[in-house]
Amino acid sequence: MTTISWIGLGRMGGPMSANLVKAGHDVRGFDLIKQAMVEARSHGVTTCDSIEDVLDGAQVVFTMLPKGEHSRAVYLGDRGVLALAPKDALLIDSSTIDVETAVELHKAAAGAGLDFVDAPVSGGISGAAAGTLTFMVGGETDTVEKAKEFIDPMAGRIVHTGEAGTGQAAKIVNNMMLFISLEACAEGSVLADRLGLDPQVFWDIASVSSGNSWALQTWYPVPGIVDSAPANNNFKATFSAALAAKDAGLALAAGEQTGVDLPAARLAAQRFEQLITEGYENLDCSLIAKYAAPDGKIKGWNPEQA
């Protein structure tokens, strides 16, 4: 049994840490949100009242945090992970952050004598619960090999992407492509409806044809077609507009840094920002489908019940 510390027990970190408990590890967790701690305890995680407490005796430390500034604060603060973790601990950051911050954390960890990998994930909340996430892991080969043992209970696939920061690079590009696919599903679902196509008939065609995508299979924005779609639940978030806007922004920033033109990604980012402006930042990003409708009305969406 390995003592694993987990910082960040939210929508992804909660079910991920629960899978480590199922694998027989002693998992200790911390989150600033009390309800997240309650949920984690219900799945066998021992919760702690501070980062100091959760890091005490840790052999492996996982972090799953919302933004790069949170990762910097948790790792680099005076009472952060690099200052408090045991010197033989393995550090695994599964947050989605910018490449520059990821590389900074690698260098800081190395300076503190600690092994570190950036290991963001793809697969969403359903993949986190099922233990089928894809992990994109950047770092030294030996460290990545050590990390695989602890990642495995949460993963359907583990890919060593290369040197420090490449895990984040892969995640940023992958999410950008997802958002572009989601915009295609949004526009396609509304156009098919306005042309009089039965939504199930159209989905059955698109799902085995050239219009297929992960977004269509998982988030299709029409109720009653895909079990995992937020459209079935008035677009309650599985991946919030706020998080989508953050990740799309990471892709756009990377495009600016590299000189790559990303017009489709800019459109998707604008859609997410529209949701935020309207006060829907905590609803699902697939609600962008409403912007394809001339009257803003789509099946499955009732703003009065949001």
| 171 catalytic per annotation | yes
Q: Helices 241-258 and 166-194 meet at what angle, rounded to 10?
A: 120
Residue type, 196: G
Instruction: Indicate the DSSP class of residue 187.
Output: H
Catalytic residue among 67, 87, 148, 171: 171
Distance separating the N- and C-terminal Cα atoms of the chain: 44
Please tell me the distance from the alpha carbon of residue 73 to that of residue 80, in angstroms, as a whole number. 7
List beta partners, residue 93.
63, 118
Are the CB atoms for 82 and 109 separated by under 8 Å?
yes
Dihedral (C-alpha) 148, 152, 156, 161: value to the nearest 10 degrees?
A: -10
List beta partners, residue 194.
none
Residue 278 has which token pair?
């309207």
Please tell me the distance from the alpha carbon of residue 84 to that of residue 82, in angstroms, as a whole number. 6
Give the number of other Cβ atoms within 10 Å of residue 296's Cβ: 11
Strand extents, DSSP E, the chain: 3-7, 26-30, 46-47, 60-63, 90-93, 115-118, 121-122, 133-138, 155-162
Active site residues: 171
